[in-house]
Structure 1
Amino acid sequence: MKKIGVFTDRWLSGGIESYLVSNFEKMDLDDILVSIITTRKLSQLYDSRLENIGIPIIELFSEGKDSEITRTVKSLKVFEEVLKAEKFDVLHLNIYNGVSLVYSKLARDCGVKKIIAHSHNSALGQVRLRAAKQLSHIVGKLAFQRFATDYWACSDLAGKWLFTKRAHSKVLLLNNGIDTDYFRFDSVKRTSFRQDYNLSENDFVLGNIGRLNNQKNQIFLLEVARELNQKNVSFTLLIAGDGELLSNLKDRIIDYRLSEKVKLIGTIGDTASFYSGIDIFLLPSLFEGNPIVGIEAQCSGAKCLLSDSITRQAKVNEMTEFLSIHRVSDWVNFIEENKASSQASRLKSYHTVKDNDFDIVDTSIHLKTNLLK
């Protein structure tokens, strides 16, 4: 029986959490003991699912606000105490930047034999003290990368971001798997979802899902919606998620007179119905590791338009395109040209995603194999 510690800085309701929970749900856990470690648990979205499979969350701090750097420094002593108490055989670090690689040194000092640094991001956003954080990222990976035994990434860009050139040839790429059966297009779910939001089958619906923050760049979508509205294009834009940009988005929707066109629908539980219910999925992120939401949307057969700053490995089917977020008009033109939607063609995407090894059953086996290797 091997003990595996799985770390992520803050436990939210985003892509890393979805990735971990979904994989562990499909994984044979009979011969391993998994514990999740996080500095702060800020979401209860996955609590019942984790409880059902017997995976606890160890929270290092329960309250407080701080930056990632100060939070990391504050957590080191507590993290070390957890490592000594738990005596993990494997530590799986799911991280965004070089600063968090310091945990790999702590793990080495505490006798952990297998220390995996798993990169889930590809850049640093337009954050406060950006230059200082960029420098700390570079220093962090130069100083602490060597203490990890394994280098993983969700895409080529994510690998290049977290690891120095010396390690690039050693990086293992792991697909962000999804439950393809769950996300398969479903006409019944489509009808039900549209009824819930007072939409008819003939309505043209755009969708975005993700944390409302600068990285996900939902502000850009309001620029697209404003231009579509000015051109008298009939559409509804649904933005799902929560986050620090919520108030800003609400204000701008009012300023742009888009209250009848753009709906902020909050965090949703049944994301499969969301994808089946929309026609085009929009993801204008400034950067991504390899967005799970993009794979989910493609599995549903929705046409997808992604920012060209996202890795091309996010494209699984031919209904996905990449465009620059510096030209709103290009996004508007794509949307106008792709208003026609065929439900029959949407069913084919499920097989494409499954055949390209993005099914959660396959990725969970791959993940476990490499955790124990």
Structure 2
Amino acid sequence: MESIRVLHNIASLHFGGSQAFVMNIYNNIDREKVQFDFVVTPEERKDLYSQVEQMGGRIFVCPKYTGKNHFAYCKWWDDFFTEHPEYHVIHGHVRSTASIYLKIAKKHGLVTIAHSHSTSNGSGISAIVKDMLRLPIRHTADYLFACSDKAGKWLYGEKATEQPNYRMIPNGVDLNRFAFCEEKRQQMRQDLGIAKDTFVLGHIGRLTVPKNHQFLVELFAEYHKENPNSRLLLVGDGELFGTVQQQCTQLGIRDAVIMVGSKTNTEDYYQAMDVFVFPSLWEGLPVSVVEAQANGLHCLLSDVITHDVDLTDQVKYLALANKKVWLCEVANLQRKHRIAATTENMAKLQPFDATVVAKQLQSFYLEQDERARK
């Protein structure tokens, strides 16, 4: 039997949270039974294009929705489904226009899935427009997916989690890939120019407003004054990369902050860290926090982040308004010896194992594809 093809509509195929989720599933699903194809908007960066194509996936580029091109955008989708009758299931990760393209997909007989990966649209005029566009999604999609119940309630409404078509889908992680390794830790520290006794605060995530790097850099600057044998390791790229570099220079800590950009081997960079600091302003479910726990790292999170990632005894939530508490917690963790996650903690992380999540979604896709063909 030929594999079914599931269409994923995702904003881009460069590194990010929703991309990590989809690719983790794609890597662990049985591709002889289920294949993924992608619709993305035009982009310069094509980090994951070659990986998708090597795995047998196809990539289509649709126009970016501006509002002014509403009819052209709708026509593109209508024409696309007419030209590609092989699709029976669409999994939508672009929430801003989900009520548009999912409605068109339904007209063509597809089973439609909306997926919430966040808990905010940000601020400004674009956020207001997005808020208006997201309201019909709960009535348009056949299935309402979310990375956490908090993200589900935000996008679909307070009662969404009680509906029979709602699913909380954990962001799957390859737990073995992120396990702690002392040899790799020593190698990474040597490669990064970090001494064995240097205390390293780490963060992995795109350099964007929600991740709150400004707070993180200010926090480290204060900590570094009293603890000069410390470093801040930032893994990720984004529109604020230059701004963060400039902030580090202004605070006089540029030489103590290591910014390595976007990396595919993030598992290696966790090894070099001593504490994972994640002061986001808003999040859906940050998969990096699950990865950090799998690596045995203690995690300090802002208290706006969902407690769905509070899986082990390594997580602590702190209020962003009180920087002194953050400094105190970092100082306390400096005295702890860096070790791997315990067997007990790894067991608690099992629901987030990518192989488990992929198997569940595979069964779901096959079932929905069969239903749509009838």
Deviations 1:75-101 (A, max 9, x none): 33222222221221001011344x433
Deviations 1:28-81 (A, max 9, x none): 1213342111123443322333233211211224xxxx7776687763322222
1:123-138 equivalences under 5 Å are 123-126=120-123, 128-129=124-125, 133-134=127-128, 136-138=129-131
Change (3 A) 1:296 1:73: farther
Task: Using the TM superposition, name which of 194-203 and 6-15 deviates more.
Answer: 6-15
Residue matched to 2:314:
319
The 2-side partners of 1:198 and 1:17 are apart by 30
Query: Which letter does structure 2 place at the counterpart of 1:209?
Result: I
Residue matched to 2:370:
none
State the SS of the aligned residue for 1:346: coil
Give the length in aligned residue pairs.
362
Q: Does 1:278 align with 2:273?
A: yes
Tell me how far 1:353 sits from its aligned partner: 4.8
The 1-side partners of 2:352 and 2:70 are apart by 32
Tell me how far 1:108 sits from its aligned partner: 1.3
1:131-170 equivalences under 5 Å are 133-134=127-128, 136-165=129-158, 167-170=160-163
Tell me how far 1:322 sits from its aligned partner: 0.9
* Contact preservation (8 Å) 1:301, 1:348: no
* Contact preservation (8 Å) 1:15, 1:292: yes
Task: Tell me which of 79, 99, 102 is aligned to 1:101.
Answer: 99
Task: Tell me which of 117, 121, 126 is aligned to 1:120.
Answer: 117
The 1-side partners of 2:44 and 2:19 are apart by 11
1:1-373 equivalences under 5 Å are 1-61=3-63, 75-87=73-85, 88-97=87-96, 99-112=97-110, 114-126=111-123, 128-129=124-125, 133-134=127-128, 136-165=129-158, 167-170=160-163, 171-232=166-227, 234-348=229-343, 351-355=346-350, 357-373=351-367
* Contact preservation (8 Å) 1:298, 1:349: no
The 2-side partners of 1:141 and 1:341 are apart by 45
Task: Using the TM superposition, name which of 331-340 and 142-151 deviates more.
Answer: 142-151
TM-score (norm 2): 0.90
Query: Which letter does structure 1 place at the counterpart of 2:10?
Result: T
The 1-side partners of 2:285 and 2:4 are apart by 29
Change (3 A) 1:103 1:78: same
The 2-side partners of 1:281 and 1:214 are apart by 18
Change (3 A) 1:33 1:272: closer
Tell me how far 1:265 sits from its aligned partner: 1.4
Change (3 A) 1:327 1:141: same
Tell me how far 1:145 sits from its aligned partner: 2.8
Tell me how far 1:207 sits from its aligned partner: 0.6
Deviations 1:278-330 (A, max 9, x none): 01011111111101111111100011111111100011111111111222222
- CA-atom RMSD in angstroms: 2.2
* Contact preservation (8 Å) 2:203, 2:277: yes
The 2-side partners of 1:279 and 1:70 are apart by 49
Task: Using the TM superposition, name which of 316-325 and 52-61 deviates more.
Answer: 52-61
The 2-side partners of 1:37 and 1:236 are apart by 40
The 2-side partners of 1:26 and 1:139 are apart by 36
Query: Which letter does structure 1 place at the counterpart of 2:286?
Result: P
Residue matched to 2:371:
none
The 2-side partners of 1:263 and 1:198 are apart by 9
Structure 2 residue runs of 5 or longer lacking an equivalent are: 368-374
The 1-side partners of 2:70 and 2:171 are apart by 26
Query: Which letter does structure 1 place at the counterpart of 2:210?
Result: Q
The 2-side partners of 1:72 and 1:38 are apart by 17
The 2-side partners of 1:166 and 1:40 are apart by 36
Task: Using the TM superposition, name which of 190-199 and 157-166 deviates more.
Answer: 157-166
Tell me how far 1:164 sits from its aligned partner: 2.8
Query: Which letter does structure 2 place at the counterpart of 1:4?
Result: V
State the SS of the aligned residue for 2:6: strand
Change (3 A) 1:187 1:197: same
Deviations 1:244-298 (A, max 9, x none): 1112111111110001221221112211111111010111111111011111111
Structure 1 residue runs of 5 or longer lacking an equivalent are: none
Tell me how far 1:345 sits from its aligned partner: 4.7
What is the aligned-residue identity percentage? 26
State the SS of the aligned residue for 1:273: helix
* Contact preservation (8 Å) 2:153, 2:159: no
Deviations 1:139-186 (A, max 9, x none): 323334322111110101110111134533122101111111110111
